[in-house]
A and B are shown apart, each in its own frame.
Chain A
Amino acid sequence: MPAVETHNLTKRYGDVVALDGLDLSVKRGELYGLLGPNGSGKTTTIELLTGQRTPTSGSLSVLDMDPVSDPIAVRESVGILPEREDPPSFLTPREYLEFVGEIRGLDNLESRTDEWARKLQFQGILDTLSSDLSEGERQRVMLAQVFIHEPQLVFIDEPLVNLDPLMQAEVKTQLRDYCADGNTLFLSTHFMAVAEELCTTVGIIAGGQLVAERDPRELSKGLLETFAREVQLGSERDDELMDQPKTGDRLEEASTR
């Protein structure tokens, strides 16, 4: 069974269609990157998959669980890092990780905290109030809370934002190691280089639909060019395009034109 699967997933906010029949399948152990322009439905996709929102229609499953009927079970098994989320201003990183750990019912919290602080190099600020941390330090703390319970599947929106180049390299290594152990990573990003370098599969989303999906290393043209072409196609799609197969075939067609 795939780690993540959606069929005809649709989400409307009033008159606005955020997701329009999204079909998605992410294999276990995959490092999946969802690329798309602003407002294309990336955040909504992650919110639906983690049970933070309920879909208007369609079906979805995450680690063989239904995020609609059992969102808490899904959240127990996954790690989530939304875009631009900071640790609470008036807790220290140590207190915040204890807060998250207690909610998740973890044992050996102290050693887990120390381990992740060491891996992400923030031992020196464990007892500093979060409001006094730099953006990069806050991002490292948020990454630690994603992994502290050793989840099988992780959803991250922009994993490398605000990190310096050395820390970016360190986090990339951590993410690869995490997937090498058989876990699944689902990340959403605007950065082509991140997707190209890290992901084993990249999905391009535009207008609430998956318009292309491929292993970035197999692309005959660069990912940036493919992305631009597919997004343009997505925004200009008409009935004829809607009738075409949605995933690999269209990317193939686009990349060989």
Chain B
Amino acid sequence: MSSLLVFRRMLVEEYRMHTELFGRGRFVGFPLFTAALVAGGVWLLEATGTNLESIIAGLFVLVFLFGLQVGTIGLIGRDAMRNVLGDVTLLVFSGRTLPISRRKLLATFLLKDLVYYIGLFLTPIALGFLPLVTTGDMSLSTVGVLWIALSATFAFGAGTSLALAGIATRNVGAIVALIVILVGVLVAAPDVLVALSPYGLYANPGIESAVASIVGVVTVLIAGPLLFEPPTSGGVRRIESRRFNHLADRGGVFFARSLLEVTRSSGSVWKVIFSLGILFAVAALVLERVVAATALEPSAGIAFGTLLGLGAFTTYNWVTQLNETREYLRYPVSYSTVFAGKFRAFLTLSLPTGVGYLALAGIWYPRLELLLGVLIFPLVSIYVFGVTAYLTGLSPNELLFNTPLFALYGAALAVVAVPLLVAALAFGEFPRYSVGFAVVFSVLTAAVGAFFIRKSGPRWSRRLR
């Protein structure tokens, strides 16, 4: 069977899956929206004094993480996929019925992901930098190099996730050792990793960096499909504890089920900690850059509390990821009860994680000031839960390619983020006003969030019926 034929069919399959999920019109508009969002975001960050190179460095991190996620989403999370999409069978799973080897299918699947996402996602991101060409802040050739380097970074992430998953299924000790080595190199000699990654091609364009990034990307793209083994059942898991009953006694059955689904699925609670950790790292990076590039003395408490609170949408995603939305319509229970249970699970997971990161920030920032973050973070989290539940129900993944919904959601978060971050920046000049405003505004924000939580149940009950 021709690999080209399979490749083309996989492209069509991916497109149909997305248009089926999000509607063709909304999906087709997503690249345009991405380009506009990047252009607007770059302009806004530059207007607040953020260095262009810092913005681009952050973008490379995000694209790498996106590559990591895309590389394995259709392969490892099949359970989650079935719960979200219903009965879905992708061509990549047909190794036992088609006369084509599993590794060849996997390599074709990976290539399809690269072409698909470079076309629909990374090209619009690079195009978002074109306005800077007209203002003379960037040359057209630099935008071209940026596009190539971002595409290579995405490929690097996708290949890396497959290779790491492959190593992990063979030897857990090896994966731990590899991660320790990578973190060690990152801390001891970050320049080495940068030089070997596609970011090096953008930061220092030249023959050496081009060769280094090509070698790195090609290596993981070959190693990924070769090393990856589909997860097989690790035996029959028996659970005789009374954890479900204990949790249900404390917060109800929807709370108990949500928590157990998060803790028993791949990654357990670590996925919650990891995803909020990325937001924490981005917040720390932005704060450090703002302090270095401007004369402002922002409030770390307000800034961290706000950004971590906004980042709690990742926790919302985890507590709803294994749900088939219509399932709850078959029980004699209102959607309000379902959302109430999800809300308790969300708070149980996100609050200790966020407070933990605020405590970690205490190593570098004034601890007394961070107490403000301990107050603001849960209040903003309540708002985020309310808005996400109201707009997306139990399917937050829909945000990914639903352009109008994504824009609305972004606007709803910006309404809260902008005033609070301005208050954080004004802290050095007007500490009392800044703190007073942040506290009052956060309380109001939480009240609005509670309003949305109350409205979410009836809204989704109506919409789904």
Contacts and interface: CB of A to CB of B under 8 A. Distances in A.
Interface residues of B, number: 32
Contact of B330 (A73, A75, A91): A75
A85 B72 CA distance: 25
B239 A50 contact: no
A52 to B, nearest CB: 4
A88 B331 contact: no
Contact of A75 (B233, B253, B261, B332): B332
Contacts of B330: 50, 52, 75, 80, 82
Nearest to B79: A89
A54 B329 CA distance: 12
B196 to A, nearest CB: 39
A129 B332 contact: no
A95 B332 contact: no
Contacts of A170: none
A92 interface: yes
Interface stretch (A98-106, A204-212, A243-251): A98-106
Given A51-B465, A90-B265, A129 B333 contact: no
A128 B236 contact: yes
A209 to B, nearest CB: 23
A132 B233 contact: yes
Contacts of A53: 465
A150 interface: no
A51 B464 CA distance: 11
A123 to B, nearest CB: 13
A82 B79 CA distance: 19
Interface stretch (B240-248, B345-353, B439-447): B240-248
B87 A84 contact: yes
B432 interface: no
Interface in B191-250: 233, 235-240, 244-245, 248
A215 interface: no
A115 interface: no
A98 B237 contact: no
B465 A75 contact: no
Interface in B252-280: 252-253, 256-257, 260-261, 264-265
Contacts of B464: 52
A95 B465 contact: no
B79 A52 contact: no
A104 B248 contact: no
A224 interface: no
B465 A129 contact: no
B261 A90 contact: yes
Interface in B314-345: 322, 326-327, 329-334
Contact of A131 (B79, B238, B253, B326): B79
A73 B333 CA distance: 9
Contacts of B239: 92, 95, 127-129
Given A54-B465, A103-B332, A129-B239, A89 B253 contact: no
Interface string A106-121: 0000000000000000
A98 B465 contact: no
B51 interface: no
A104 to B, nearest CB: 6
Contacts of B260: 90-91, 95
B237 to A, nearest CB: 4
A2 interface: no
A52 B244 contact: no
Given A84-B87, A89-B79, A95-B260, A76 B465 contact: no
A71 interface: yes
B392 interface: no
Nearest to B462: A54
B69 interface: no
A91 B236 contact: no
Nearest to B260: A90
A84 B244 CA distance: 25
B253 A99 contact: yes
A193 interface: no
A102 B322 contact: no
B238 A104 contact: no
Contacts of B333: 72, 103
A102 B326 contact: no
Interface string A132-150: 1000000000000000000
Contacts of A98: 244-245, 248, 253
A129 B237 contact: yes
Contact of B332 (A92, A104, A132): A104
Given A84-B87, A103-B331, A131-B79, A89 B236 contact: no
Contact of A102 (B83, B248, B465): B248
Nearest to B248: A102
A71 B253 CA distance: 21
Contacts of B248: 98-99, 102
Contacts of A82: 330
A88 B331 CA distance: 14
The winner among B252, B329, B330 for most chain A CB atoms within 10 A is B330
Nearest to B80: A89
A33 to B, nearest CB: 21
Contacts of B331: 75, 100, 103-104
B264 A99 contact: no
A45 to B, nearest CB: 15
Contacts of B332: 72-73, 75-76, 103-104
B375 to A, nearest CB: 34
A71 B465 contact: yes
B96 to A, nearest CB: 17
A127 B238 contact: yes
Interface of B: 79, 83, 87, 233, 235-240, 244-245, 248, 252-253, 256-257, 260-261, 264-265, 322, 326-327, 329-334, 464-465
CB-based closest 5 A-B pairs: A75-B332, A76-B332, A90-B264, A95-B244, A52-B329
6 contacts: A50-B330, A98-B253, A102-B248, A103-B331, A103-B333, A129-B236
Interface of A: 50-54, 71-73, 75-76, 80, 82, 84-85, 88-92, 95, 98-100, 102-104, 127-129, 131-132
Given A90-B260, A90-B265, A129-B238, 19 more contacts: A54-B465, A82-B330, A89-B83, A89-B322, A90-B322, A91-B257, A91-B261, A92-B238, A92-B239, A99-B248, A99-B257, A102-B253, A103-B253, A103-B332, A103-B333, A104-B332, A129-B236, A132-B236, A132-B237
